[in-house]
Structure 1
Amino acid sequence: MSLPSPWRQFFPGILALDTQQQVWLDSAATAQKPQAMIDSLCQHYKNTVANVHRAQHQPGERATRSFEAARKDIKHWLQADPQDVLIFTKGTTESINLLCQALAHHLQAGDEILISAYEHHANLLPWQQLAKNLNLTLTVLPMEPTGHLDIEYAIAQLSTRSRILAISALSNVIGHSQNLQPLLNAAQKQGVWTLVDGAQAAVHQRPNLQLLDCDFYVCSSHKLYGPDGVGILLARERSVRALRPWQFGGEMVRHCGYHNAEFLPAPLGFEPGTPSIANIIAFAATLNWLKTLDIHAIAQHEATLHKAVLDGLRARDMQIIGSPNCALVSFNAPNVHHADLALLLGEQGIAVRAGHHCAMPLLQHLNLAGALRVSLAMYNNSNDIDQFFNALDQSLEILQ
């Protein structure tokens, strides 16, 4: 199979350094960056450096306009309603922690939070610790051996005690995409707040938050070909009023005295301090660039490469975890430790991820100490896959 990537040319980093022979198959951890993002960062730091929302001078006004235009562009990429509120954070992890603390005042002992069995630590630990602190019930919704969440069973678990449903649209270990809308609809009818963690899924299918009926949606810039250190929390107009500020400082204040303060409404009331201005503007530039691409062609390209990886692993009798159907594959080689195999692959220029992938309870549930993960993006090509399997075969000859 010969399948070039027509989008690889837009990524000037390690992918362009042919002398390094670097194969990047770790995009589920973080993606390489396009020239459009790099140009936006450089332009801001050369021409628009100023703080936002608080200055009367022209540089501050220009920076504020660019910053708020970025907020509007990101909402447009999410296909959210104009009335929905977009709050900037440092990443998906902080977005979920923000939401966890901002809703805590509504909860009391005996209330229930529901998550899936395949959640990343970022969508487990905040709820776990909140449940411990407030004496709540944390219910873990089971998945089938394929990694498919049992939707009908999950719906049946909803009760009058259920208050929050927090669930990932795509597991970073299983890589199994499915329709969550029936579960979200059932939760909404019960008056349950719903959070969708889109950190992995948003990269491979542009979200449509006018169709996805959830109260809150989170994802990160760095997985979406954007800069590090930027996350978003999209809150529905109907839901944002339930939130209370969780961090405090400058920028968020309507009025402040020594003993009392009044805070601005969302989003500014949830964005204390100086935000990551340049990175947020560059994230919007990245998404605007993505909108110019053929998303269906990218999806087909990734699907073809994904099938090639699955076929190659099966031909070598690798243990594939679950039934992945989107962009990544986690696997183990019989009688070989995943860390040893990852080390030998890395020495041959193949970047994969090994370990528990910030999903330790899931791996323990599967009776696995860890796994290797191959994850794909638009810039990968068939030569990457060939080099991966050549390196895998050489590594297995040494280790088995």
Structure 2
Amino acid sequence: MVFDVQKIRADFPILKRTVNGHPLVYLDNAATSQKPQVVIDAIVDYYSNYNSNIHRGVHTLSQEATDAYETARQKLQKHFNIQHAHEVIFTAGTTHGINLVANGFSEILKKGDEIIVSALEHHSNIVPWQMLCERTGAILKVIPMDVDGTLIFSEYEKLLSEKTKLVFVNHVSNALGTINPIEKIIEKAHEKGAAVLIDGAQACSHIKPDLQKLEVDFYVASAHKMCGPTGVGVLYMKESWGKTLPPYQGGGEMIKEVTFAKTTYADMPHKFEAGTPNICGGIAFGVAIDYLNRISFSAIETYEDSLLAYATEQLSAIEGLTIYGTGAAKTGVVSFNIDGIHPYDIGTIIDKLGIAVRTGHHCAQPIMDFYKIPGTVRASFAFYNTFEEIDVLVAAVIKAKQMLT
């Protein structure tokens, strides 16, 4: 497929709107991506034509909804190259998936065990593990970061020991765009017998991970950052762990047999999918996966890399502007500040010019503490952004700087 950004932009109805009298320039893709018409249509189609609860229903609507939902699971299996469809667990999103795993390990870890996170994590991949340590007496250790926003791998190796039971690292930093060396991180952890969870929320709109090749134990992602709807995500759980970990929630669907004397649990994936799921969301997630693959991830990566290089060059030319996260391996995120100006003030002014960026600590406060800053302005790119939009951003940042100094 020839990469035609204007043709792709036509698939996204929201990109046609204006904000404050200006054409929308949407550069907040690290927070959530926009949705193509095919995904919106899939949501409308479900609620208009075959809305029904899934599994066990003998009537036609239930069978149609079940087939569509389970087909979406198979699409995720194929996309991530997962060996078994039952290793694909639908969740409410990345945070839900992480908490599901943390809850399971609360019955496995014991006092003195060690778990490792990185300094680049989103709060969703920090707080659940802190809570887990409080419940179990396990010890949390942190892989330190360097000034360029990359992890210090040699320090990670020093942290690993026979006491290490779990390692949790994001695939890509949401605050800086840094791509972590997860292949090496997984390999070193497994040498010590530790399990690994990778937070792929920020990666999966840019990179197509091969989970069998990675040999990771758990991988989590959210649909809403992959052109899908909010409120649905995926947890890959290696089959061996699915047999080991206890259910996260009790209720319908996750049972094999219930009596007042004893309940037995269903096999994967239903063991971890209690209650009525986000059926429409799961189906639309599958449609979003199809859409992204039609464009092709190799084309997406190539185009977004060129956007990142251009934005980095143009923003770096602004006097007094500092970019945070300058490692060689990055996705389309430029996180920056201008000397003497609070990032919130810049974000507020450029919003008046129709530009959507994110300001603050991006749920990664330890990163901001490392740099001794209150937060950053974060411009994050998707395959439907253009070089012209970056020019608009740069002009707006210059204007904001002039107004605020």
TM norm. shorter chain > 0.5: yes
Residue aligning to 1:197: 199
- Secondary structure at the residue paired with 2:107? helix
- Secondary structure at the residue paired with 2:305? helix
Name the CA distance, whole Å, in 2 between partners of 1:189 and 1:398: 55
Residue aligning to 1:323: 326
Show CA shifts across 1:172-191 (max 9, x none): 11211142212211211211
Residue aligning to 2:388: 383
Q: For residue 219 of structure 1, report the CA deviation from its aligned partner.
A: 0.4
Name the CA distance, whole Å, in 2 between partners of 1:356 and 1:333: 15
- Secondary structure at the residue paired with 1:194? strand
Q: Is the 8 A contact 1:102 1:243 kept in 2?
A: yes
Q: Aligned to 1:356, which of 348, 361, 365?
A: 361
Residue aligning to 1:344: 349
Q: Which amino acid aligns with 1:9?
A: A
- Secondary structure at the residue paired with 1:113? strand
- Secondary structure at the residue paired with 2:58? coil
Q: Is the 8 A contact 1:103 1:242 kept in 2?
A: no
Q: For residue 5 of structure 1, report the CA deviation from its aligned partner.
A: 4.3
Residue aligning to 2:39: 37
Q: Which amino acid aligns with 2:379?
A: V
Name the CA distance, whole Å, in 2 between partners of 1:389 and 1:186: 42
Q: For residue 84 of structure 1, report the CA deviation from its aligned partner.
A: 5.9
Residue aligning to 1:290: 292
Q: For residue 47 of structure 1, report the CA deviation from its aligned partner.
A: 1.5
Name the CA distance, whole Å, in 2 between partners of 1:345 and 1:332: 14
Matches within 5 A, 1:120-139: 120-139=122-141
Q: Which amino acid aligns with 1:7?
A: I
Show CA shifts across 1:128-160 (max 9, x none): 111122211000111111111122321232111
Show CA shifts across 1:275-304 (max 9, x none): 000110011011012111132222221111
Q: Is the 8 A contact 1:218 1:232 kept in 2?
A: yes
- Secondary structure at the residue paired with 2:311? helix
Matches within 5 A, 1:230-245: 230-245=232-247
Q: Which amino acid aligns with 1:208?
A: D
- Secondary structure at the residue paired with 1:292? helix
Q: Is the 8 A contact 1:5 1:380 kept in 2?
A: no
Q: Is the 8 A contact 1:83 1:237 kept in 2?
A: no
Matches within 5 A, 1:91-106: 91-106=93-108
- Identity percentage over the alignment? 36
Q: Which amino acid aligns with 1:165?
A: V
Q: Which amino acid aligns with 2:107?
A: H
Name the CA distance, whole Å, in 1 between partners of 2:38 and 2:393: 28
- Secondary structure at the residue paired with 2:214? coil
Residue aligning to 2:79: 77
- Which residues of structure 1 form unaligned runs of 5+? none
Q: Is the 8 A contact 2:16 2:24 kept in 1?
A: no
Q: Which amino acid aligns with 1:82?
A: H
Residue aligning to 2:249: 247
Name the CA distance, whole Å, in 2 between partners of 1:126 and 1:398: 42
Name the CA distance, whole Å, in 1 between partners of 2:397 and 2:260: 63
Q: Is the 8 A contact 2:39 2:228 kept in 1?
A: yes
Q: Which amino acid aligns with 2:268?
A: A
Pairwise CA RMSD of aligned residues? 1.5
Residues 5 and 151 of structure 1: is their aligned pair in 2 closer, same or farther, counting only changes over 3 Å? farther
Q: Aligned to 2:370, which of 365, 368, 391?
A: 365
Matches within 5 A, 1:259-338: 259-317=261-319, 318-323=321-326, 325-338=330-343
Corresponding position: 1:65 with 2:67: yes
Show CA shifts across 1:362-397 (max 9, x none): 211221111110000011001211111121111111
Name the CA distance, whole Å, in 2 between partners of 1:277 and 1:336: 45
Q: For residue 75 of structure 1, report the CA deviation from its aligned partner.
A: 1.1
Structure 1: 4+ residue segments shifted above 3 A = 3-6
What TM-score, normalized by structure 2, do the two folds share?
A: 0.95
Q: For residue 31 of structure 1, report the CA deviation from its aligned partner.
A: 0.3
Q: Is the 8 A contact 1:86 1:267 kept in 2?
A: yes
Show CA shifts across 1:28-50 (max 9, x none): 00000011111211111122111
Q: Which amino acid aligns with 2:84?
A: P
Name the CA distance, whole Å, in 2 between partners of 1:280 and 1:215: 22
Equivalent pairs counted in the alignment come to 397
Q: For residue 342 of structure 1, report the CA deviation from its aligned partner.
A: 0.7
- Which residues of structure 2 form unaligned runs of 5+? none
Q: Which amino acid aligns with 1:246?
A: Y
Residue aligning to 1:257: 259
- Secondary structure at the residue paired with 2:379? strand
Q: Is the 8 A contact 1:158 1:190 kept in 2?
A: yes
Residue aligning to 1:221: 223
Q: Is the 8 A contact 1:84 1:236 kept in 2?
A: no
Residue aligning to 1:17: 17
Q: Aligned to 2:155, which of 150, 153, 156?
A: 153
Q: For residue 114 of structure 1, report the CA deviation from its aligned partner.
A: 0.2
Q: Is the 8 A contact 2:196 2:216 kept in 1?
A: yes
Residue aligning to 1:118: 120
- Secondary structure at the residue paired with 1:28? coil
Name the CA distance, whole Å, in 1 between partners of 2:98 and 2:84: 22
Q: Is the 8 A contact 1:168 1:196 kept in 2?
A: yes
Residue aligning to 2:189: 187
Q: Aligned to 1:28, which of 30, 35, 42?
A: 30
Q: For residue 92 of structure 1, report the CA deviation from its aligned partner.
A: 0.2
Residue aligning to 2:8: 7
Residue aligning to 1:108: 110
Q: Which amino acid aligns with 2:91?
A: T
Name the CA distance, whole Å, in 1 between partners of 2:373 and 2:242: 40
